[in-house]
Amino acid sequence: MAKAEQVLILEPSQELKFKGGLCGPFTDVVTSQLKLTNPTDRKVCFKVKTTAPRRYCVRPNSGIVESHGSVSVAVMLQPFDYDPHEKNKHKFMVQSLFAGEGEVNLDALFKEADLSHLMDSKLRCVFELPMDAASQAPQNNIDASPAPQPHVEIAKPLPKTNNSEAELRKAGDEIKRLREEISSLRQENLQLKEDSLRQRSHASTGEKKQAVVSSIIPQHETQQANPMMHFVAALVIAIIGFILGKFIL
């Protein structure tokens, strides 16, 4: 089955070029313009497809080109991490059909279209780096080519390594000294606690002895006071008896 020849004129016709920025390759949205021209006397419907729909945004991705008219399509490459060693296989395809009379439903038209009436053109994507970014890699290689430079770069880190070892050794000695001081402080703290407990024990023993002596002394005084009271009571009774006996007689 013969394939219909594309009637739309595409500018560019084979490649969509995307140029990276100076701040960094493809760190921002990069837009490439695609112009579609209809040289015929009939209206032509178009639809733009890509093999990487997540990487690109197309506005408009479908529409109608009037007779002897043109439409500009913006193809926007979304930011991504560019790898110069990665092969770019992204492609775009522009499909077209002659529009019928009246209103046109583009989705239904392309879905139900006869393949023999369907026209298409393919374009591949090209990523271009700025001149500064493109020349930076070769310049770095030229600067790194002399033999003395690698020797100088290798010799410089040696003092840093020795300094690092000395600093690590010094830090280890400092940690050891701090640990010894902590151990000494702990021993002093324990000794102070023992002295405090010993002093409290002596003070408690002295208080107990004083309490025992205090409890004994009143009892002894009571025991000495009791006979005296008996003697006084007997004396009073004797005097009273003597007085009563004198009056009675």
> What's the mean pLDDT when you consider all of the chain?
80
- pTM comes to 0.52
Q: Which residues of the chain have a pLDDT value below 70?
A: 1, 22-24, 131-163, 204-228, 244-249
Give yes or no: residues 132 and 65 share one domain.
yes
pLDDT for the residue numbered 87: 83
Which pLDDT tens digit goes with each residue over 20-49?
876 667 889 999 999 999 999 999 999 999
pLDDT for the residue numbered 208: 63
User: What residues make up the domain containing 16?
Assistant: 9-136
Total tally of structural domains belonging to the chain: 2
pLDDT for the residue numbered 126: 94
Q: What would the 3-class secondary structure string for the chain be?
A: CCCCCCCCEEECCCEEEEECCCCCCCCCCEEEEEEEECCCCCCEEEEEEECCCCCEEEECCEEEECCCCEEEEEEEECCCCCCCCCCCCCEEEEEEEECCCCCCCHHHHHHCCCCCCCEEEEEEEEEECCHHHHHHHHHHHHHCCCCHHHHHHHHCHHHHHHHHHHHHHHHHHHHHHHHHHHHHHHHHHHHHHHHHHHHHHHHHHHHHHHHHHHHHHHHHHHHHHHHHHHHHHHHHHHHHHHHHHHHHC
Give yes or no: residues 129 and 160 share one domain.
no
pLDDT for the residue numbered 144: 44
Give yes or no: residues 67 and 151 share one domain.
no
